[in-house]
């Protein structure tokens, strides 16, 4: 069956569109009252690991706002869980890994799993979500970048600096690269399984790429993302989003990725210039700007589309939507795009 709304896929192919497509990172959850109802009943990983819940959460924002794409409700840390690294999600704290990887001996207990077995619940959630979406809009799958996953595996929790993760890479580079390769191999198998299960495109989130210097990014992050792009680009569209990684846009634009995400610290003009002007870009509204009055949001979104240009462009935030954003403000963001016309 053909998709009723394939704007996102057209933008990923670089085709001319009436208006750019729009979706929001982290649109499935956090700020939605219907999500909060489920959150009261089920803990975080129960929501991720129960296909009925994950698929319901995925379609909630589509029902409410009618974005041009759904993104599967899940978490980047299901990968280390599958690799037999324990991950807990602590309320008001975030991810906590009680046994972080900090030595060669620690690395030896990390497995490259059979993803259909260990992450089969994700594939079930994809199939259920596709049924619920009934070919209305495309479904995106995603994974964290190997470097971003390493940050959590070594640090053991979120961090403003990921100092322990960086120290590990700089003092034990061989072990770090071996861990990065295990994560990469798992991620490739995982994303390929998602494509087989029915996702229409995938996004790689390098949330902590900007923690590295441009030189270290080329050593510890980019080569592993490139492996993922190489493995997936002939099977599906790959979007690469590196937060704080404007310095890598030129390299990224030559990778074979279909689109590149940009955060709000990089202007549309610079993003087009740095990426060579021929690749589809996605972004880059500051999520905190969704606290501005709805009228202001509409004006800013319209200006953002003019700055990027309507073609080869996907409207999005520069990072995930914040939990306290008012519903009408999220709506103003989506509607500004859906009502956009060149005039």
Cα–Cα distance, 243 to 241 (Å, whole number): 6
Q: Is 285 annotated as a binding residue?
A: no
Give the Å distances, CA to CA, from 81 to 28, 97, 113, 149, 207: 21, 10, 10, 11, 18
Give the Å distances, CA to CA, from 86 to 52, 156, 184, 213: 24, 10, 18, 29
Give the Å distances, CA to CA, from 125 to 39, 56, 78, 142, 276: 17, 9, 14, 13, 37
Cα–Cα distance, 239 to 205 (Å, whole number): 9
* HSE value, Cβ hemisphere, 13 Å, CA-based, for 142: 25
Cα of 118 vs its chain's centroid, Å: 21
Query: Helix, strand, coil % (nearest 5) of the chain?
Result: 50, 15, 35
The three-state DSSP-derived secondary structure of 220-284 is HCHHHHHHHHHHHCCCCEEEEEECCCHHHHHHHHCCCCCEEEECCCCCHHHHHHHCCCCCEEEEE
Upstream peptide bond of 284 is cis (omega within 30 degrees of 0) = yes
Q: Which residue has the tokens 């905190």?
A: 288
Q: Is 26 annotated as a binding residue?
A: yes
Give the tokens for residue 202: 């995938």
Q: Is 207 annotated as a binding residue?
A: yes
Q: Is 177 annotated as a binding residue?
A: no
What is the number of other CB atoms lying within 10 angstroms of the CB of residue 205?
22
Q: Is 27 annotated as a binding residue?
A: yes
Q: Which residue has the tokens 């989130």?
A: 205
Q: Is 127 annotated as a binding residue?
A: no
Q: Is 30 annotated as a binding residue?
A: yes
Q: Is 106 annotated as a binding residue?
A: no
Cα–Cα distance, 269 to 54 (Å, whole number): 37
Q: Is 306 annotated as a binding residue?
A: no
Q: Is 190 annotated as a binding residue?
A: no
What is the number of other CB atoms lying within 10 angstroms of the CB of residue 181?
15
Binding residues: 26-30, 45, 75, 152, 207, 319
Binding residues for substrate: 26-30, 45, 75, 152, 207, 319
């Amino acid at each position: 069956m053909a998709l009723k709304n394939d704007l996102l896929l057209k933008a990923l192919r670089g085709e001319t569109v009436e208006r750019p497509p729009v979706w929001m990172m982290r649109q499935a959850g956090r700020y939605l009252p219907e999500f909060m109802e489920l959150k009261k009943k089920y803990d975080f990983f129960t929501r991720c690991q129960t296909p009925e819940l994950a698929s319901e959460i995925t379609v909630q924002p589509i029902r409410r706002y009618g974005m041009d794409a759904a993104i599967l409700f899940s978490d980047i840390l299901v990968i280390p869980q599958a690799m037999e690294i324990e991950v807990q999600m602590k309320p008001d704290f975030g991810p906590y890994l009680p046994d972080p990887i900090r030595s060669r001996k620690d690395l030896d207990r990390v497995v490259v799993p059979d993803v259909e077995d260990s992450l089969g619940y994700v594939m079930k959630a994809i199939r259920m979500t596709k049924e619920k979406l009934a070919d209305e809009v495309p479904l995106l799958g995603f994974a964290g970048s190997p470097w971003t996953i390493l940050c959590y595996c070594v640090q053991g929790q979120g961090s403003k600096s990921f100092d322990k993760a960086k120290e590990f890479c700089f003092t034990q580079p061989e072990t770090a690269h071996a861990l990065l390769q295990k994560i990469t191999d798992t991620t490739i198998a995982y994303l390929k399984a998602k494509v087989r299960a029915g996702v229409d495109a995938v996004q790689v989130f390098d949330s902590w790429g900007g923690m590295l210097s441009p030189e270290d990014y080329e050593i510890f992050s980019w080569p592993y993302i490139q492996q993922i792009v190489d493995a997936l680009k002939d099977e599906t569209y790959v979007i690469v989003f590196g937060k704080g990684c404007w310095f890598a846009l030129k390299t990224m634009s030559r990778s074979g990725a279909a689109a590149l995400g940009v955060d709000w610290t990089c202007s549309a003009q610079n993003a087009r210039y740095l990426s060579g002007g021929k690749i589809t870009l996605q972004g880059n509204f500051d999520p905190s700007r969704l606290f501005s009055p709805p009228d202001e949001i509409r004006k800013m979104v319209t200006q953002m589309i003019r700055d990027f240009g309507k073609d080869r462009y996907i409207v999005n935030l520069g990072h995930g939507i914040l939990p306290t954003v008012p519903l009408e403000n999220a709506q103003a963001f989506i509607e500004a795009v859906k009502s956009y016309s060149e005039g």
